[in-house]
Amino acid sequence: MEHPTPQPQDHGWHVSRLSFGRRCRGARNPLLVVLAAACLTLGAGSALAEDIQLTGPLADAPACRHCRVYREGRLQVQPFLAFTLQDQYVRHRLLGAQVSYHLMDWLGLGLVGAFNVSDSETPLTREIGREGQTTEFNVLSLPSADNFAEQVGRIQWFTALQLSFIPLRGKLALFQKVFVDADFQVFAGAAMVGVEERQSLIDPSICSGVTASPACLQSQVARISRSTLAPTFGAALTLMFSDWAGMALEWRGLPFAWNTSGTDEAGPAGKFSDGVINADDRIPWFNHMFSLGAVFYVPPKVSYTP
């Protein structure tokens, strides 16, 4: 069987369609026939789309006419309330703000800061407090079950410098009645996180025996604050209700190592339970949070695309 030979002046989609046809005509069984039909349909569809783009009424048309330029050249101020997710021992609620400047509508540089306004124990922490038992084997990690909530780690604050990319922009409809401009952004940067953890205990002799000594009980509630560097990244959906105000729904990852439980988790080179509590007991943990924020743009006057 002879096949048409594409001529040099053929457009790309013509050649593509002929090659689809060659492959599809070779089908011999029902499955291949179905695949061949799909090939022809896809080939024709892409051909039509390209034909419209090249010669149709949308030829050379911009993606958007008279669209509001929300971000370019404007400052975005975003106060927010964040909630940590999938916490082991403590749930955090943080109040913060983000200020971003957008060089282009799809690229911005932002500074974020938030601090812990309240936190609460998880059901696991409360259960250990009720049911936990101190023995000669765990007296260092749990001098007293009643005070377990006092030894767990807490996030106190974080700040971050980040780049934002806004690859998607469009309009959302609520029940096909209310329409709002929306965009989707991803961001990544570096963060500094302030945490409070159980203080290091390098003299294991004070925590030995069947019951904890007064010094051991005191070590359980001794706290120390430190700050650590961490990567941060996430995604956000921004809904615009006017030229200068909107709402942002954001997810943020903030992975770093810390001693969430205040227990003897590890030792040098990963050795388990080395009898002291120190920096070796900081375990990598994928901290993440969801935040709900209000969005304001400065200056409030918006510009439009041609």
Contact residues: Ca ion, CB under 5 A: 264, 267, 274, 281
Distance (Å) of CA 172 to CA 109, 178, 184, 288, 303: 25, 8, 11, 27, 21
Instruction: Report the nearest approach of Ca ion to the CB of residue 262 (Å).
Output: 11
Least distance from C-beta 271 to Ca ion, angstroms?
8
Phi, psi dihedral angles at 275 (to 5 degrees): 85, 0
Cβ-based nearer residue to Ca ion, 87 or 281 = 281
Residue placing its CB nearer to Ca ion in the complex, 175 or 272: 272
Measured N-to-C along each axis, helices 12-25 and 30-55 cross at an angle, to the nearest 10 degrees, of 170
- CB nearer Ca ion, residue 45 or residue 275: 275
Question: Residue 140 Cβ, how far from Ca ion at the closest point, in Å?
Answer: 9
User: At its nearest, how many Å lie between Ca ion and the CB of residue 293?
Assistant: 39
Question: Least Å distance between CB 273 and Ca ion?
Answer: 6
3-class SS letters over 96-155:
EEEEEEEEECCEEEEEEEEEEEEEEECHHHHHHHHHCCCCCCCCCCCCCHHHHHHHCCEE
- Given the complex with Ca ion, which of 72 and 274 has the nearer CB atom? 274
Q: Considering beta carbons, is residue 183 or 264 the nearer one to Ca ion?
A: 264
* CA 70 – CA 120 distance, rounded (Å): 38
> Which one, of 19, 12, 14, 10, lies nearest residue 39 by Cα?
19
